[in-house]
Each structure stands twice: as structure tokens, then as C-alpha cells.
Amino acid sequence: MSGPDDSGRRGQPAGRGESSGGGGPGGRARPGSDGFSAIGRPMRKVDGLDKATGRARYTDDIRLPGMLHGKILRSPHPHARIVAIDTSPAERMKGVHAVVTGRDMPVTYGIIPWTPDEYPLCLDRVRYIGDGVAAVAAVDEDTATAALEHIKVAYEELPAYLTPHEAIAASVGPYIHEPRKEGQNGNITKVVKLAFGDVEDGLEGADIVVEGDYFFQGTTHTPIEPHCAIGMADGAGKVTVWSATQVPHYLHRELARVLGLDPAKVRVIQPPVGGAFGGKSEPFDLEFCVAKLAMKTGRPVKILYTREEVFYSHRGRHPFHMRYRTGVRRDGRLTAVDAQIVMDGGAYASFGLVTTYYSGQLLTAPYKMPAYRFHSTRAYTNKPACGPKRGHGSVQPRFAFEVQLDRIAEALSIDPIELRRRNFIGSGTRTVNDFRVTSNGFLECLDAVERSSDWKAKFGNLPFGRGVGVAGSTYISGTNYPIYPNDMPQSGIQLQVDRSGRVSVFSGASEIGQGADSMVAYIVVEELGVPLDHVRVFAGDTDFTPVDLGAYSSRVTFMLGNACIQAARRIKRQVQEAVARVWRVKPGEVLLAGGLALRAGDTGVCMPIREAFNLAEAKFGTLGATGSYNTPKDIHGEYRGATIGSSPAYSFTAHVAEVEVDPETGFVEVKKIWIAHDCGRALNPVLVEGQMEGSAYMGFAEALMEEQIFKTADQGRAGLHNAPSLLDYRIPTSLDTPALESLIIESVDPEGPYGAKEAGEGPLHPSIPAIANAIYDAVGVRMDALPFSPPRVWRALQRVNGSGACPGRAPQPRFEKMPAAPWREAHGGRVGPGRGEGRNGA
């Protein structure tokens, strides 16, 4: 395991280190002291220069001959029946080629096969302001936009549910969705109750029990590229859709199913995607509409969402109302954790079934929990649907839980980092909910942030207004099962070798900026010894690339990486064998590196890699190989839900945040975040750091700035997005973003590609609780609701100072807590003695 001392060196930017030449175009990687020639080096990205020159062609950059432009008419009501739609005035307009409505595609879909509750366009009911009702294809965008005004829709308004509590409390319809069984509440997507170990006993035996309510405000992804799709029908039954999607394979399946087409006649092409973060990981209305409009008109049709529509399409972070009870012994060891969560799901299920499980299942590391129970309920509301955002379902509980730990540390007078060490779950173990944990570098993460942040000198010792906070977390390296049940590989790849020495990689994975295409190129360089600029990656086209399930759940490096190693080694063996025969040595003595085949022990004996490939082709025929990866199936328990949240490997992260709080205004400035992340092995440290920094930034943004809020009836327009623009929905600029320091920890996972695990989502989690805990260290107020905006922090300070209200204004509730019933109030005080303690008379 490489220690944190190593991370300083890894922190050097590419281009100035020893390997910048090696990684550069045409550069030749040579084996380093770790035995790798390419892996672990700061190499260029295969698409880096395309992106730096404007050559990269995103979906909206594609223009096809005769292409029409589409627009979608959206509901002005949060909840209403569609009584009638008259499209004829629009259809009569000059320049309008076709109009489609829900009747043209009356088939439900949903990313989770068990909860298909959406139509491509609403059939008889709209469920949020922004729900798609009809779509137009016209000669240009202006005409299409104008035509929307001429589609007449008669609505009958229905009562709207804007909070999950209202939705859950409902006992008569109309519900947001029809109940699956008569008598059920159709406003509930999913309820999950799971218990492991004896929670009551654990709380009973605790020396103290800390109890807290928390609220996590919803946030959205806001990739800079709005969603865009182009449909084309060839007139012979084949339909092609270009889309800015993270999941071309699932889109392929759903397009075929909903449009009633043979999947063999549907092609999905995924151009480079301009940011996604989970916001493009399921089918959207525009993809069905461009396909249907293209089928109807015989012309290619493009739809580009406006920025406003990106906010309506949403699928971002669920607002969570959470209550935690955490029992600990006097020495700081956890005895039991009890969680109750109500989730605001918005109008459709999306990934909600999984989110409901994740809300509890992903909390069980990096700390050992002897007993754990969670009860999570996802409610529908008449707002844009929530879904997976970076750190799906686990960022919210992690915030609450890590603040709980900070309160415990304070109550027991244990240093918060030490408290976390004492509860370390270890490596090669199982969690309380029976997930297998392989490698685990969490202790090294804690050591790294403690040292780099100068924690010991700072914690509790900085002047009033300044503070530091720590938090830890874990995340999955891919989900163990595909979204639809099947036994086929989760990831596949195909390699092809040319006589010139060029290697082509056909990859089904989705490049969304994270470096998926580069990652497989580095593996080919490592295994086959070719220079990086001899590798071409062709990706994201269902006609030509093997299936990969998509860029979600941090699965790509782990799964596609392993698939690529398998394929590359199949070719490597052939090349070694062919060269070995000529040199009269054993195949294992033939090395492939730096553009050469070399003889081990006497590297003076060598030949250009191209010649080695030619020898292999002469011996074995055309050179090519496939590789695939599927997950092991014995790494989780047998209970219902045991598969959801299980992963072949888990990453671990620790952050320390340092903040300055202005007690006059409540303004919080995050000075710096130290990010230590155990990614197993950094295949390219520059790209890993980029993921760590981008994650910490996004967590910081949610902690301090972002809020997906909707107007209430009192504000004039119930359910209307308050601010669907990048000016009003505030994402951090360069001036807002704190200094970020990445500390890579490498635990070398036994099953990861070269030991690698995920890096793209895990490092988001601790930012938020670390900042909350730092605010407490700075000014002594516990932030239990996001975002930690000046009004919230100021009010919290006022409460501590005994006032609690703005001058001249009524005190505002901090956030809507979960109703007391049906949950038992076992412990009165927010920090109180456990029952065990009372019994002992302490």
C-alpha cells in the first residue's frame, strides 16, 4: 500500500514531471520502478487536444442535411388532467412539419424496469410544471417555438402535493400515480425497512445516544451542456438517435420498446458529453420525440433543451428529511444506528427505488456498526423528478451521520479524527448489512488529511470565527447488478490491431469528461507496449461497440478497465508467442513496452512493436480480441435488497475543511478543503485528482450555495421552479471555489484493474459534513440543514445567542422536520444519556 507520503509527489501536475514526454503524443512510455510503463503516469487524454481546439463535436454541433428543429410544449400546471389537445392550428402553420402528443407514444417507460411510470409525452395527466405534453418539428427553432403557442391544451387542475409529508399523509385520490393495489397511497414510490443486528439492544447498551434531525435540500446537476438529441429515420425501418446520454445501452433498449421497433433496427450514438453527473443517466422526453418526429417526417430532427428545460428535466439530488439515533460507548465505539428518512421524489420514480435502498444501504462503512436499522420512504410530489446525482442516495445520509459523529466526539471529548479511527471497519471484512469489503485505505486517508491540514494545531484552537472540520465516507465502484436482470457481462470491449502498429479500441462506455476513453487507451499502452498516439478509441455507438451499461455508479474504470485488460492480454499472449518462436525464448520472456518488443534480461534484443504484431498476425491470422467483465455474485447477503448497494470494491475518503464564518452576516467562506481519497490505484493521477477536486467542489457547492427550490401557493404559483437559470441557481464561480488539495491514497484493490477503484463520486461526500463540522468549530453552531447560506447560519447564531428572530420578522422554522408519528420518540434530549447509562445511575 503506498502511503500518504507518496501523494505529495502524485500531486505534481502533468507536463512537468518525468513522464510528460512519455505521455505526450508520440511519446514512448518506459517501465518505471513500480513495474508499470503507463499506469500511474500523468499522461495526456486521448480527447484532450480535440477539446482544447474546438474540434470535439458534441451533439448540438452535429448538423444533418435537411434537419428540422423540435420543441416541446410543457405543462403550466403542477398537477392536472389533460382534457383535450388540439394540435391542428400548429400543424397548419407554415414551416411546421409534424406535431406529436402522448397518443403517438402511449407506452410507459422508466429506467428501473419495476417502476415504469412515465410516458414520453404525457398521455392524460401532467404531474409537474414542465412536464412534456406535445412536440413540434419545424424548419427552424423560431418556427417550432412559435408553433407551441398554437397547440391548445385544455386542463382540469388537480390538487398538487408539494411536500413529501403532505403526499404521505394523503388518504384519498387523486394521487400523483395510480396505486398499484387498491387502498394504497399512490403518492408513495417505495418504502424500505431493513434491520441488521439488535438496534434496541445496542441503543440500550450505549453510554450515550445522540439524536438529531437533518434536512438536505435538493440540488441539481447543471452540466454546462444542455441535453440534446437528434433523430434520423432511414425510411427502411432503421432509426438512429444521437444523444448526450450517459447510458446509450439503456436508451437503446427503451427507444426500441417504447417506439415498438426491433432493437436491431435502432442505433444510439453518444457523441462527447458536456458534463452529466447523473443528470443524463436515463431516457428523457426529447430522445423519444426526436425519434418519433423523424419517423413521422422522414427528416432528421434535433431538439436542444433550453437551460430552463434542463432544470425541469432535473433527476437531481432528492431532498431528504432525516432522523438519526446513534448509540456509542464511552470509548467512542458505535453500538447502534437507527435512521428514518423521508425522501422528496418529485413527479416520477426515475431511479427512486434504488435511491430508497441507497439511502440506508451505503452508510455501513467505513465505520463498524454492530447494529443498524433504516426506514426510508420515497414520496412522489408535483415537482420535477429527482434521481441520481453524483453520490446517488448516499450524500444526504452521509451529511447527517458525519455531523452525528462530530457531536459524539464532542460529547465524549474525543478528537473527531480519533473517534473515526476507533470505529474503522478494516479491510477484508463484511459490513453489518453483509457487503464484502476488500481493500480499505480509510485510515491512511485520515492520516493524510490530519497531517496536511495541520489538524492537531488547528482543531479547537483557532480564533472565534475560524474552524476546521473532518468527515469520512465510502462509495461503490459500480453496482453489482445491471438495472435489468441478466447474466451477461456488465462491460465489454473489443480490440483490433492494424499492420501499422495502431490499436483500435471499440468501447461501449460513455465518455462524459471523466476520462473513460483515455483510461482504456492507457491500459492498451501498458499491456501492448504501443505509444499512446497509436491507440484510437471508438466509443459509444451501439452499432459498433460492445455493450457497457453506462457511466453511472462509478462503475466504468473498475468494470471496463478489467474488460480491457482481459482483451489486451489475449492479444499480448499471441504477440509474445509469435516473437518468442523467432527468438527461441519462452513467451514470458518477451516484453512489450515503449513501442518495442524486448527480450527480458537482454533488452538489446528487440524489434519495433509493429513487426511483433506482424509476426503474430502471420501466425494467428487477423489480430483482435474481446474482453468482458462481470461482477462476482458471492459478495453480499441473501436478504431482500441485499444486492442493492453491493459492489465489487469500495472507495474511501476523508476531508478536512477549514472555514471562516462572519458572525455579523452568517457568511461562510471555505478557505480550503484537503481531500484524501483511496482510489485503489491511480491509473492516471492527474485525472484522479481532477475527479477528487471536481467532487469536492460540487460538495462544497451543495453545502453553501445550491438550492433547487419551488414556489408555494402563497408565493403565487405553486410548484413553479423558483429560478431555473444559471444566474439564479447559484453554482460556484472561480471566485467562490475554495483552494482544494488532493491527496491520493492507493490501497491496491485485489480485483480492480491494476488495483484501481472509483474516484468520481466518493470524494464528494465528506465535503458537506466537513464544512458543517468546521462551522461548529468556528462559531459553535450546528448546521443541520442545507445549504449553509448566510440567512441560515445567521439565524443559527442568533439561536445560540438566545434571540432567534430577525428584528421585525417572525422567527422562521429551520426546516420541516419529519412528523413525530409514526416514529417513536425513544429519547427526549438531542444529546442525552442512553438508557444503559441511566440504569447504571450515571
Partner 1 sequence: MEVVRLRVNGDERVCGVPAHYTLLETLRYGLGLTGSKQGCDKGDCGACTVILDDRAVLACITPVLEAEGRKVRTVEGLANGTELHPIQDEFDLNGAAQCGFCTPGILCSSVVLLERNSSPSREEIRAALAGNLCRCTGYAKIYDAVEAAATRMRR
CA distance 515 to 561: 12
CA distance 821 to 473: 30
Grid coordinates representing 489 are 457481462
Smallest gap from residue 529 Cβ to partner 1 (A): 23
In 675-738, alpha helices (H)? 685-704
**Residue 722 within binding range of partner 1, rule CB under 8 A:** no
For partner 1, the binding residue among 31, 32, 36, 58 (CB under 8 A) is 58
Q: Which stretch binds partner 1 (CB under 8 A): 190-198, 301-309, 372-380, 657-665?
A: 301-309
**Residue 272 within binding range of partner 1, rule CB under 8 A:** yes
CA distance 278 to 553: 9
- Radius of gyration for the alpha carbons in the chain, expressed in angstroms and rounded: 28
Q: Which stretch binds partner 1 (CB under 8 A): 512-520, 622-630, 633-641, 749-757?
A: 512-520
Smallest gap from residue 11 Cβ to partner 1 (A): 10
Closest to partner 1 by CB, 539 vs 781, is: 539
Q: Are 133 and 101 in contact (CB under 8 A)?
A: yes
Q: Are 128 and 347 in contact (CB under 8 A)?
A: yes
Closest to partner 1 by CB, 686 vs 785, is: 686
**Residue 278 within binding range of partner 1, rule CB under 8 A:** no
DSSP character for 102? G
Angle in degrees, CA 512, 60, 684, rounded to 5: 20
End-to-end CA distance of the chain: 44
Smallest gap from residue 747 Cβ to partner 1 (A): 22
Q: Return the SS3 of 668.
A: strand
CA distance 371 to 621: 59
**Residue 536 within binding range of partner 1, rule CB under 8 A:** no
For partner 1, the binding residue among 1, 56, 107, 261 (CB under 8 A) is 56
Q: Which stretch binds partner 1 (CB under 8 A): 163-171, 328-336, 443-451, 685-693?
A: 685-693
Closest to partner 1 by CB, 51 vs 502, is: 51
CA distance 173 to 328: 44
Closest to partner 1 by CB, 286 vs 567, is: 286
Q: Which stretch binds partner 1 (CB under 8 A): 537-545, 587-595, 696-704, 788-796?
A: 696-704
Smallest gap from residue 686 Cβ to partner 1 (A): 4
Closest to partner 1 by CB, 725 vs 840, is: 725
Task: Collect all residues with Cβ–Cβ distance below 8 Å to 361 and sequence separation of at least 6.
Answer: 194, 433, 435, 641, 644, 645
Strand partners, 410: none
For partner 1, the binding residue among 48, 95, 587, 637 (CB under 8 A) is 48
| Three-state secondary structure string covering 504-563 | EEEECCCCCCCCHHHHHHHHHHHHHCCCHHHEEEEECECCCCCCECCCCCCCHHHHHHHH
Cα–Cα distances (Å) from 432 to 485, 557, 750, 826, in that order, read: 26, 27, 22, 23
Closest to partner 1 by CB, 49 vs 805, is: 49
Pattern of binders to partner 1 over 441-460, x per CB under 8 A? Answer: --------------------
Closest to partner 1 by CB, 224 vs 805, is: 224
Smallest gap from residue 502 Cβ to partner 1 (A): 20
Q: Is-cis flag, bond preceding 833, omega within 30? A: no
Smallest gap from residue 142 Cβ to partner 1 (A): 8
- Using CB under 8 A as the binding rule, the residues of this chain from 307 to 366 that contact partner 1 are 307
Cα–Cα distances (Å) from 708 to 346, 520, 537, 722, 731, in that order, read: 12, 36, 38, 8, 11
**Residue 65 within binding range of partner 1, rule CB under 8 A:** no
Residue among 171, 150, 160, 188 nearest 80 (CA) = 160
**Residue 40 within binding range of partner 1, rule CB under 8 A:** no
CA distance 37 to 34: 8
Buried b (16+ CB within 10 A) or exposed e, 115-149: bbbbbbbbbebbbbbbbbbbbbbbbebebbebbbe
For partner 1, the binding residue among 3, 8, 13, 66 (CB under 8 A) is 13
**Residue 51 within binding range of partner 1, rule CB under 8 A:** yes
Smallest gap from residue 266 Cβ to partner 1 (A): 26
Grid coordinates representing 649 are 470494491
Q: Which stretch binds partner 1 (CB under 8 A): 8-16, 394-402, 540-548, 616-624?
A: 8-16
CA distance 270 to 7: 35
Q: Which stretch binds partner 1 (CB under 8 A): 635-643, 657-665, 737-745, 747-755?
A: 737-745
**Residue 726 within binding range of partner 1, rule CB under 8 A:** yes
What are the percentages of helix, strand and coil residues in the chain, rounded to 5?
Answer: 30, 25, 45
- Using CB under 8 A as the binding rule, the residues of this chain from 739 to 758 that contact partner 1 are 739-740
**Residue 735 within binding range of partner 1, rule CB under 8 A:** yes
Q: Which stretch binds partner 1 (CB under 8 A): 131-139, 333-341, 688-696, 808-816?
A: 688-696
For partner 1, the binding residue among 1, 64, 197, 306 (CB under 8 A) is 306
Q: Are 471 and 766 in contact (CB under 8 A)?
A: yes
CA distance 443 to 447: 6
DSSP string, 801-838: TT--S-TTSPPPPSS-PPPSTTS-----SSEEE-HHHH
Q: How many chain residues are in contact with partner 1, going by CB under 8 A?
A: 64
**Residue 8 within binding range of partner 1, rule CB under 8 A:** no
**Residue 689 within binding range of partner 1, rule CB under 8 A:** yes
- Using CB under 8 A as the binding rule, the residues of this chain from 393 to 452 that contact partner 1 are none
Q: What is the CB neighbour count within 10 angstroms for residue 588? A: 10
| Three-state secondary structure string covering 760-795 | CCHHHCCHHHHHHHHHHHHHCCCCCECCCCHHHHHH
Q: Are 569 and 587 in contact (CB under 8 A)?
A: no
- Using CB under 8 A as the binding rule, the residues of this chain from 199 to 258 that contact partner 1 are 221-226
**Residue 277 within binding range of partner 1, rule CB under 8 A:** yes
Smallest gap from residue 528 Cβ to partner 1 (A): 23
CA distance 693 to 673: 9
Q: Which stretch binds partner 1 (CB under 8 A): 37-45, 71-79, 196-204, 368-376?
A: 37-45
E strand residue ranges, 16-92: 68-74, 80-86
Smallest gap from residue 511 Cβ to partner 1 (A): 9
For partner 1, the binding residue among 33, 734, 820, 841 (CB under 8 A) is 734
CA distance 624 to 528: 12
Closest to partner 1 by CB, 414 vs 523, is: 523
- Using CB under 8 A as the binding rule, the residues of this chain from 123 to 152 that contact partner 1 are 142
**Residue 27 within binding range of partner 1, rule CB under 8 A:** no
Closest to partner 1 by CB, 63 vs 193, is: 63
**Residue 759 within binding range of partner 1, rule CB under 8 A:** no
**Residue 273 within binding range of partner 1, rule CB under 8 A:** yes
CA distance 639 to 657: 38
Closest to partner 1 by CB, 223 vs 836, is: 223
Closest to partner 1 by CB, 305 vs 380, is: 305
Closest to partner 1 by CB, 16 vs 640, is: 16
**Residue 517 within binding range of partner 1, rule CB under 8 A:** no
Contacts to partner 1 by CB under 8 A: 13-16, 20, 24, 42, 44-45, 47-58, 60-61, 63, 142, 221-226, 272-277, 304, 306-307, 512-515, 686-687, 689-690, 693-698, 725-727, 731, 733-735, 737, 739-740
